[in-house]
Every structure is written in C-alpha cells, then in structure tokens.
C-alpha cells in the first residue's frame, strides 16, 4: 500500500514540477536551482545511464532513436538515469532541471531541448522541456505521456521498454505539432 501511494504521487509531483521549469536560478556560488554544479556529472552522450538501468544494446538503440530524431528535427532529447547516491529524493526535481541547463541540452537559439530524467531508486521521473518545446507541447501532454507510457512499464521494472515507448510517443507528438 505504501508503494502504491508513492506511485500515485509521481504524476502529481511531475506535473507540479513543470511550473518550475522556466524558473532557472543561477547564482555566483556555482549553483543552478540550488544544485551545486560540481555535483553534476559530465554527459556521456544522449543516453546518460548513471544508474546502470540499461544494457549496452538498449543504450545503443535509445541513442540511435534520439540521434535520428535530432537530425530530423534539431530537437535534442537526452535521457538521464540518476543513482540515489547522486542526489536526494527531495532534490531530484531540481537536479534534473539543473542538469538540463548545465549541460545545455537543445539548440541555444531555439531552446529546444528535452531531458528525460528518472531514478529507479527514488521511483521518480521528470521531463524537463526547454522553452522552445513548451511552445509545441503542454505540460499536460507531457504528463499524459509519462502516465501512459513510462510509469506503467516502470511499475513492472521494464525501464528500457518504458523509456523507449515514452520517448517514441513524445517524438511522435512533436512531429505532429511541428507539421501544423
């Protein structure tokens, strides 16, 4: 019962966290949104599996998926898995946003980056959309993808399947919006 209550709060927390997306706070102490940039790992590529969730084959498949989408649309999608040792449960939301901004995901002039961040250990997910993406898809649409594609698979410990399905659906929605 305790676990199901946590899972019910994931969509709510995710939805509420989107409102903070545009509120990036850099300060002179080397922090972004209260997160020390020294605690943000360097990106490995489009798929940054710091929690060791994916197999090498799964990483390669996801990397090809988002790399091809970037070539097609210029939209950059980064997947980030976060180990519980990297950030506290409480700071997870800010960590994903801070990492997104620190890494500079998205084309600078378009701010069209997306970071899909999750932690198996914390049982949390957050998708941080750049301002250019927010003009195409709403927080509600993003949250619906999380609830319909990511979370059902994650509940079954199918993190690759959920990430692949959710990312694919996100890309399909963006393709539709770009064509309009």
C-alpha angle 19-158-3 in degrees, rounded to nearest 5: 65
pLDDT tens-digit series, residues 6-47: 444 444 333 333 333 333 444 445 665 565 566 677 888 999
d(CA 115, CA 127): 6
pLDDT tens-digit series, residues 128-162: 999 999 999 999 999 999 999 999 999 999 999 99
> For the chain, what is the radius of gyration of the CA atoms?
15
The boundaries of the domain holding residue 145 are 2-179
The CATH number of the domain holding residue 13 is 3.10.310.50
Q: With DSSP H G I counted as helix, E B as strand and the rest as coil, what are the percentages for the chain, rounded to 5?
A: 50, 15, 35
Give the count of domains, the chain: 1
| pTM (two decimals) | 0.81
């Amino acid at each position: 019962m305790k676990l199901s209550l946590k899972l019910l709060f994931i969509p709510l927390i995710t939805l509420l966290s989107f409102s903070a997306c545009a509120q990036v706070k850099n300060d002179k102490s080397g922090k972004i949104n209260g997160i020390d940039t020294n605690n943000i790992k360097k990106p490995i590529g489009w798929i940054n599996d710091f929690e060791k969730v994916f197999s090498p084959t799964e990483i390669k498949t996801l990397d090809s998926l988002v790399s091809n989408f970037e070539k097609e649309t210029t939209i950059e999608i980064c997947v980030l898995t976060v180990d519980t040792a990297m950030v506290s449960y409480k700071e997870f939301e800010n960590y994903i946003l801070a990492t997104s901004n620190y890494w500079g995901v998205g084309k600078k002039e378009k701010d069209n980056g997306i970071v899909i961040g999750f932690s198996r250990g914390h049982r949390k997910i957050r998708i941080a959309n750049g301002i250019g993406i927010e003009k195409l898809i709403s927080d509600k649409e993003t949250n619906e993808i999380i609830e319909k594609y990511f979370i059902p698979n994650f509940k079954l410990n199918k993190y690759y399947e959920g990430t692949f399905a959710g990312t694919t659906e996100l890309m399909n929605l963006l393709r539709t919006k770009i064509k309009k």
